[in-house]
Amino acid sequence: MFLESAKKAGWIEVICGSMFSGKTEELIRRLKRAKFANQRVEIFKPMIDIRYSKEEVVSHDSNIIRSTPIESSAGILLNTANTDVVGVDEAQFFDNGIVEVCQTLAANGIRVIVAGLDMDYTGKPFGPMPNLMAVAEYVTKVHAICVRCGNLAHHSHRLSDSDKLVMLGEKESYEPICRHCFNQLNSNR
């Protein structure tokens, strides 16, 4: 029997890992597939992330998708009317309200795909990412390759002496390393 009042199911997907692990690449791939399926897609990124572009999400491999830069997570709810899929890049830079925003969107029948660093440069859980992973239906952890030994890397090792938690950078500032190399480097400090 067909139910006219059947509600569209929404859910949360989290893509996490270290820098250079392919998080944004996977986010873009999923969003492009949704667009190909004629789904209405909106993509958001934190306004502070201007490394490659002010208004686009760009992977390290130079794949690009249009996005809306926003200052806080509340801005997402203001821009998602008539949307089937919402993508969020660099979620670790958003305020903790991003968790509730994602849950609200999913409760309203929207597929939410979030990408971000799961740990900061010190190896601690980063911002709202642990809570997003806890409430998500699907969590994909992607890995880079350790530039020092070739094992699977899941740490973003900062190459500078800065102790600021948020420091935007690329290969000149960070390198992916494995647990063993991370522990070795940090035992020498």
Q: Is 25 a catalytic residue?
A: no
Catalytic residue among 26, 42, 90, 175: 90
DSSP letters spanning the chain: ---TTPPPP-EEEEEEESTTSSHHHHHHHHHHHHHHTT--EEEEEETT--SS-SSEEE-TT--EEE-EEESSTHHHHTT-TT-SEEEESSGGGS-THHHHHHHHHHHTT-EEEEEEESB-TTSSB-TTHHHHHHH-SEEEEE-EE-TTTSSEE-EEEE-S----S-----TTTEEEE-HHHHHHHHHT-
Query: Known catalytic residues?
Result: 90
